[in-house]
């Protein structure tokens, strides 16, 4: 419970902090200077209202926030001032007037999509000042807000912050590889059902950035050495078909690398290579014909293949132990490969990766965490 009262660290650097406080100071300076000239009075309360200080914090420190946009600033202060003056005129009890003014102002801000916290202070200020003239809405409130917004437009754009900040793109184009869609985000926001101080599109973009960073962190350093079957069973060119098939059955493998005496790859024999030796177009007796094919004839001359080297695939796609695992995805998905031997720096076999190995590793790297509870 105590942690809820602690502020989270700000993820902004010193330059951004300096940009923000300098902008807020300049914004209030320009607003106050021009408002005093316009009002022609030495009494500050008649030409500058205190809630503008809070508005300056939003406009210059968080210019991308929905609560800091010109529509929110101008409309919230205008509506709040109208409500505050009305309550001050028609509700005699200051306590009742203050509570009604703030509550009704917030209701109007929500209705007009212009939630801006300093607007609540404007409504309260109108009650406390016993403002009884609607001119208060135009000056100083609306005049102050206009000057502050114009200062924010100029300063933020000059310092590299787009203001006004777009709150909804007209043609969103989410990445095809994204793990969530725009509709998924909309459903999540509807479930969350709270006002967020970030635009919906900014939130979506942030989530995609976080997703990409997580993807690169988990998969960017995942190597073939991390997911391969080490020292896989293998055969040599002269290994008999029956021995190779028996080894595949015992090890539950669908492929065996074929090596020379130095453990360098000369081919690969797969279950498909065995099946190609049997006429599958001929109906009936497939099992019998297959057993006859793999059985050693014992003859020095035979019309059927006797050893692995006679049926193996000679062109073999291999990968090095240090190759990024993610690079194998195109080979498995579009290259038609089912098994990829892994070699070391001396081109010797050290491992084997199957489609299942890669899928399992990718899932473990990017599998979603358990659904968080929403209190």
| Nearest-10 Cα torsion for 17, 19, 22, 24 | -80
| Structural domain boundaries, residue 314 | 225-366
Share of the chain above pLDDT 90, in %: 48
Q: How far is CA 147 from CA 30, 83, 141, 222, in A?
A: 7, 22, 10, 54
142 and 236 belong to one structural domain: no
Q: What sign has the CA pseudo-torsion 332, 335, 336, 340?
A: negative
pLDDT at 324: 85
Look at residue 37 and tell me whether its pLDDT is greater than 50. yes
Q: For the residues 166-191, what does the mean pLDDT come to?
A: 66
| Matching residue, tokens 């010109």 | 70
21 and 143 belong to one structural domain: yes
pLDDT at 271: 86
Domain boundary among 143, 158, 173: 158
Residue 373 lies in a domain: no
Look at residue 40 and tell me whether its pLDDT is greater than 90. no
203 vs 47: which has the higher pLDDT: 47
Most confident listed range (26-30, 184-188, 321-325): 26-30
Residue 190 lies in a domain: no
256 and 339 belong to one structural domain: yes
Minimum mean pLDDT among 12-26, 85-99, 162-176, 309-323: which range? 162-176
pLDDT at 124: 97
The rounded Cα 246 to chain-centroid distance in angstroms is 48
Q: Is 202 left (phi over 0), alpha (psi -120 to 50) or beta?
A: alpha
pLDDT at 167: 64
117 vs 286: which has the higher pLDDT: 117
Cβ atoms 91, 100 nearer than 8 A: yes
Q: What is the mean pLDDT of the chain?
A: 85
Residue 294 lies in a domain: yes
Q: What are phi and psi of 121, to 5 degrees?
A: -70, -35
| Matching residue, tokens 């101080």 | 197
Cβ atoms 339, 254 nearer than 8 A: yes
109 and 18 belong to one structural domain: yes
Residue 198 lies in a domain: no
233 and 146 belong to one structural domain: no
Band the pLDDT of 172: cuts 50, 70, 90.
very low
Cβ atoms 163, 153 nearer than 8 A: yes
**Beta sheet of 229-230, edge-to-edge order:** 229-230, 349-354, 339-343, 319-320
Band the pLDDT of 369: cuts 50, 70, 90.
low
Residue 5 lies in a domain: no
Band the pLDDT of 267: cuts 50, 70, 90.
very high
Band the pLDDT of 216: cuts 50, 70, 90.
low
Cβ atoms 318, 339 nearer than 8 A: no
pLDDT at 171: 45
Cβ atoms 81, 142 nearer than 8 A: yes
Look at residue 170 and tell me whether its pLDDT is greater than 90. no
Q: Supply 53's token pair.
A: 């200080």
104 vs 197: which has the higher pLDDT: 104
pLDDT at 371: 47
Look at residue 158 and tell me whether its pLDDT is greater than 90. yes
Band the pLDDT of 178: cuts 50, 70, 90.
low
Look at residue 2 and tell me whether its pLDDT is greater than 90. no
CATH of the domain at 351: 3.10.580.10
Per-residue pLDDT tens digits for 308-353: 888 898 988 999 999 888 888 888 877 678 889 999 989 899 999 9
Residue 203 lies in a domain: no
pLDDT at 77: 97
Per-residue pLDDT tens digits for 249-261: 898 888 999 999 9
Cβ atoms 144, 48 nearer than 8 A: yes
Domain boundary among 158, 176, 209: 158
pLDDT at 288: 77
Residue 200 lies in a domain: no
How many structural domains are present in the chain?
2
Q: Write a three-state SS string for 66-91.
A: HHHCHHHHHHHHHHHHHHHHHHHHHC
Look at residue 177 and tell me whether its pLDDT is greater than 60. no
Q: How far is CA 103 from CA 73, 120, 174, 188, 209, in A?
A: 18, 8, 39, 28, 38
Minimum mean pLDDT among 61-65, 137-141, 171-175: which range? 171-175
Cα–Cα distance measured from residue 368 to residue 364, given in angstroms and rounded to the nearest whole number? 9
147 and 230 belong to one structural domain: no
129 and 39 belong to one structural domain: yes
Look at residue 175 and tell me whether its pLDDT is greater than 60. no
Residue 166 lies in a domain: no
Domain boundary among 123, 158, 193: 158
251 and 349 belong to one structural domain: yes
Look at residue 237 and tell me whether its pLDDT is greater than 90. yes
């Amino acid at each position: 419970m105590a942690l809820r009262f602690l502020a989270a660290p700000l993820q902004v650097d010193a330059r951004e902090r300096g940009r923000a406080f300098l902008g807020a100071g300049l914004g209030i300076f320009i607003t106050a200077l021009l408002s005093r000239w316009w009002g022609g009075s030495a009494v500050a309360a008649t030409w500058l209202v205190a809630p503008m200080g809070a508005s300056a914090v939003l406009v210059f420190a968080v210019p991308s926030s929905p609560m800091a946009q010109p529509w929110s600033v101008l409309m919230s202060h205008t509506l709040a001032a109208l409500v505050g003056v009305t309550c001050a005129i028609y509700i005699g009890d200051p306590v009742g007037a203050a509570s009604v003014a703030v509550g009704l102002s917030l209701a109007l801000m929500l209705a007009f999509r212009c939630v801006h916290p300093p607007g609540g202070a404007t409504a309260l200020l109108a009650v406390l000042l016993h403002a009884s003239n609607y001119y208060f809405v135009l000056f100083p409130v609306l005049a102050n807000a206009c000057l502050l917004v114009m200062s924010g437009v100029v300063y933020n754009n000059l310092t590299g912050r787009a203001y006004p900040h777009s709150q909804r793109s007209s043609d969103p184009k989410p990445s095809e590889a994204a793990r969530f869609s725009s509709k998924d985000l909309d459903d999540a926001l509807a479930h969350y059902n709270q006002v967020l101080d970030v635009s919906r599109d900014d939130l979506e973009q942030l989530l995609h950035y976080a997703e990409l960073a997580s993807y690169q962190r988990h998969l960017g350093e995942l190597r073939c050495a991390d997911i391969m079957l080490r020292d896989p069973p293998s055969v040599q060119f002269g290994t008999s078909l029956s021995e190779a098939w028996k080894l595949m059955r015992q090890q539950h493998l669908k492929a065996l690398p074929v090596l020379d005496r130095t453990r360098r790859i000369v081919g690969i024999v797969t279950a498909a290579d065995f099946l190609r030796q049997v006429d599958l177009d001929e109906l009936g007796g497939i099992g019998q014909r297959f057993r006859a094919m793999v059985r050693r004839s014992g003859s020095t001359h035979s019309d059927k293949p006797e050893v692995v080297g006679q049926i193996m695939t000679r062109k073999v796609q291999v990968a090095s132990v240090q190759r990024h695992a993610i690079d194998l995805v195109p080979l498995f998905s579009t290259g038609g490969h089912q098994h990829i031997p892994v070699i070391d720096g001396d081109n010797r076999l050290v491992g084997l990766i199957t489609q299942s190995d890669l899928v399992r590793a990718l899932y473990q790297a990017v599998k979603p965490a358990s659904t968080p509870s929403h209190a």
